[in-house]
Structure 1
Amino acid sequence: MSDIIDNIIARVQVSPIFRSREYMRPDYVPDELPHRETQIRALGDILVHAVKGEAPSNVFIYGLTGTGKTAVTKFVLSNLHRRAPDKFSFVYVNARQSDTPYRVMADVIETLGGKVPFTGLSTAELHRRLQRTVNDVRKVVILVLDELDALIKRHGDELLYRLTRINVELSVSRVSIVGITNDVTLVDELDPRVKSSLGEVEQVFPPYNAVELEDILKRRASVAFKLGVVSDEVISLCAALAAREHGDARRALDLLRVAGEIAEREGKQVVRQEHVYQARTEIERDRMHDVIQTLPFHSKLVLLSIVEGSKRDRSLTTGEVFEIYRGLTRKLGLESVTQRRVSDIVNELDMLGVITASVVNRGRYGKTKEIKLSVDRKSILEVLNEDERLHGIWS
């Protein structure tokens, strides 16, 4: 049996497809970011004051997934920092991964050289440690909060308010915030105190078009794949499929990378268009699995309520979903969240693409929200069944 593993290792070590997968990773930041020169210049003009030891304005960066927001931010800050490492530091935190205020503050403290227990400190004590750690740096600290909307929707904007007010409490260092979000309405939903403290500059990233995506893929493919492995037709197909999905460069790169991995597993010498279509199916399945698996528990219960209600073979209303959800919580002996929170969860599931929730006008009966599944019912149940807390509660 060990020869199976030996064969797998040998195939990867002498891959007929890849020269280096490193260049296809979603978090790889290349030396050049084509078609984002305008955004680089605009963000650089805002953050350049850090090289003089002055705190730049807070910045909010908006744009759909895969439009280069994170890559441009890291590119600009890395290049500025290389030129003036003694004047400022920057800390990057992904607020979807570090998904609590405690974890965000702890990550900042630890990146700046401090120490924090995994749990156990009060928010007030953690904030005091953050303040001391930042002050000890004795220079400007630029704090990048990526996917900030995920944190705010779950925990509110109190942490953002504390961070925007931290300069009042600092005697030596200064903090500037770069917020990155897919939600263009995020700032409008913040508490007025937070909006006032932010005083932010806004930057909007447009989606890439098919021609731009094709150029990006060609540049990456030239260093990631072996010569002659990827044709222009394959690259054009990846670009066209990603351009349909709001110009998502990350999606285009994932399609090409996974298509290469499928060709490699099959022992092929080139990547073909059928590999791209197989990659699209595989990526969609894996993406939905991860989205559903990482949902908070009550969000899983709301999704399960929609799955149960979908047996009726018609659209559901928020009220109907709430009633099914309450039945599930009673079955589990749990306290229900409010109907308003369930409505918010429905909106979040809609945003994630797991369901569709559209407002329709029913004439004299007023407006209501119609809810349908966007993903196969069986696939959702398979993922939900991985959570032991949900075993045996659906029919």
Structure 2
Amino acid sequence: MLTADLDDILDDVFERVTSSRIFKNRDVLLPDYLPNKLPHREEQIRKVASVLAQALKGYKPNNLFIYGLTGTGKTAVVKLVVKKLSEKAVEKGVKLKITFINTKRDDTPYRVLARMLEDIGIRVPPTGVATAELYSRFKKFLDKKGTLMILVLDEIDYHVKKYGDDLLYKLTRINEELQRSKVSLVGITNDVNFTSWLDPRVKSSLGEEELVFPPYTAEQLRDILKDRAEMAFVEGVLGEGVIELCAALAARENGDARKALDLLRISGEIAERSGSSKVTVEHVRRAWEQMEKDRVVEIVKSLPLHSKLILYSILLLTKGGKTTYTGEVYRKYKELTAELGIETLTLRRVGDLISELDMLGLISTEVVSRGRRGLTRVISLESDPEAIRKGLLVDPTVAEVAG
């Protein structure tokens, strides 16, 4: 009987999704989908194309550095331009190699160099070769080919913050060591202050041309969503105000088009799973709530251990909507570090980390007077407690003290 019930449940779920008339092509709302047109990025497309077009005449394009917040179309614009550039180079018989590397995925100097070598046809073992040797091989084999390479390094800020700018420095100087080939760099970063991390020599070499992508406005996001919605959804299933609400909510988050598209897609998925024939603003609100919880989990997972222990202390002390104070948090935190047998940070440093948690939006703090006892901070949770707990318990060390 239990098996039959389970079969009925699964059959119901599968039938509901497969017979859905919500989506006709859900994939066009995914982050890695590359459309043939990018509304409100015509100026940026023209700029990137004008810099890189020198390659079609056999010249090395200037290095290009692109800034902009997440979801402002940087990667999509570059991918679209280099795709068309590569096709045009084949038509014209120009020897051009374009390599695109996301340095957050290929997240070590070894992996970056390995990808560069693999893109020119040289297989590299997963480990066991010094990075200096990989770099030397890359120069040697690229020069043998006598080709022009455009090397796109996406999320380059992640790599430099983690490993320093040594590899980037070498790449900005590589043309001095090549005889028959040339390399142009395109760097893409979400951090508008990224160049403050760079050696001045790297900064001057990499930033021969610079381009800043502004955040999208709510009206621009609405146009983008309408464009994709026509491809993604069955005609007539989007209820009144759905696109407008998705655009307005994402505009509040620094004009993030990726978030707007995710929100629209998740809204459709919620409608589909509930058996609805339409996507409504209520589905959007539920999707937004789900995304916010997921965002909190990811932020908490990325915190350093001591910040997690402080946040866990606050979570324990604020159950049932209570508030707590810095002193109480510090006492609870000391108990946890003692239980784990690890070093306890000073009260001052813990105070700094509490401020950082406040800036991340995980907690809320307010300085209040306690009369003759001086000033203190009242602390409360700002984010969903279950999402915080879920993010914390991923860490085995926090899970140990949580029992």
With normalisation by structure 1, the TM-score equals 0.83
* Match of residue 123, structure 1, among 104, 107, 131: 131
Q: Using a 3 Å threshold, how does the CA distance of structure 1 residues 215 and 53 change in structure 2: closer, same or farther?
A: same
The answer as to whether partners of 1:58 and 1:176 remain within 8 angstroms in 2 is yes
1:223-238 to structure 2, matched below 5 A, reads: 223-238=231-246
- Bigger shift: residues 148-157 or 203-212: 148-157
The corresponding residue for 1:156 is 164
Q: Which runs of 5+ in 1 are unaligned?
A: 359-368
Q: Using a 3 Å threshold, how does the CA distance of structure 1 residues 203 and 5 change in structure 2: closer, same or farther?
A: same
1:310-325 to structure 2, matched below 5 A, reads: 311=317
The corresponding residue for 1:364 is none
How big is the shift at 1:221?
0.6
Q: Which runs of 5+ in 2 are unaligned?
A: 1-5, 367-376
1:68 aligns with 2:76: no
SS in 2 for 1:50: helix
How big is the shift at 1:223?
1.0
2 CA distance for matches of 1:186 and 1:247? 20
RMSD of aligned alpha carbons: 3.7
2 CA distance for matches of 1:332 and 1:385? 15
1:18 aligns with 2:26: no
1:78 aligns with 2:83: yes
1:52-201 to structure 2, matched below 5 A, reads: 52-85=57-90, 86-201=94-209
- Bigger shift: residues 150-159 or 133-142: 133-142
The corresponding residue for 1:299 is 304
Q: Using a 3 Å threshold, how does the CA distance of structure 1 residues 190 and 373 change in structure 2: closer, same or farther?
A: farther
Letter in 1 for 2:96: F
Letter in 2 for 1:260: G
SS in 1 for 2:228: helix
1:194-273 to structure 2, matched below 5 A, reads: 194-273=202-281
Q: Using a 3 Å threshold, how does the CA distance of structure 1 residues 83 and 45 change in structure 2: closer, same or farther?
A: same
For residues 120-170 of structure 1, give each alpha carbon's deviation from its aligned partner in whole angstroms, at most 9, with x where no partner exists.
322212222332343344322111111221222222212211221222222
SS in 2 for 1:92: strand
1:30 aligns with 2:38: no
The corresponding residue for 2:54 is 49
SS in 1 for 2:104: coil
- Bigger shift: residues 43-52 or 193-202: 193-202
For residues 332-351 of structure 1, give each alpha carbon's deviation from its aligned partner in whole angstroms, at most 9, with x where no partner exists.
57799999x99999999788
1 CA distance for matches of 2:161 and 2:382? 22
- Residue identity (%): 48
Q: Using a 3 Å threshold, how does the CA distance of structure 1 residues 329 and 47 change in structure 2: closer, same or farther?
A: farther
Q: Using a 3 Å threshold, how does the CA distance of structure 1 residues 199 and 247 change in structure 2: closer, same or farther?
A: closer
The answer as to whether partners of 2:326 and 2:351 remain within 8 angstroms in 1 is no
How big is the shift at 1:232?
4.6
Instruction: Kindly name which structure, 1 or 2, has the bigger radius of gyration based on alpha carbons.
Output: 2
SS in 2 for 1:165: helix
The answer as to whether partners of 1:141 and 1:174 remain within 8 angstroms in 2 is yes
2 CA distance for matches of 1:136 and 1:394? 59
SS in 1 for 2:304: helix
The answer as to whether partners of 1:167 and 1:175 remain within 8 angstroms in 2 is yes
2 CA distance for matches of 1:38 and 1:25? 24
Q: Using a 3 Å threshold, how does the CA distance of structure 1 residues 52 and 336 change in structure 2: closer, same or farther?
A: farther
SS in 2 for 1:90: strand
Q: Using a 3 Å threshold, how does the CA distance of structure 1 residues 237 and 156 change in structure 2: closer, same or farther?
A: same
Letter in 2 for 1:42: K
The answer as to whether partners of 1:300 and 1:384 remain within 8 angstroms in 2 is no
1:274 aligns with 2:282: yes
How big is the shift at 1:3?
4.6
1 CA distance for matches of 2:265 and 2:390? 26
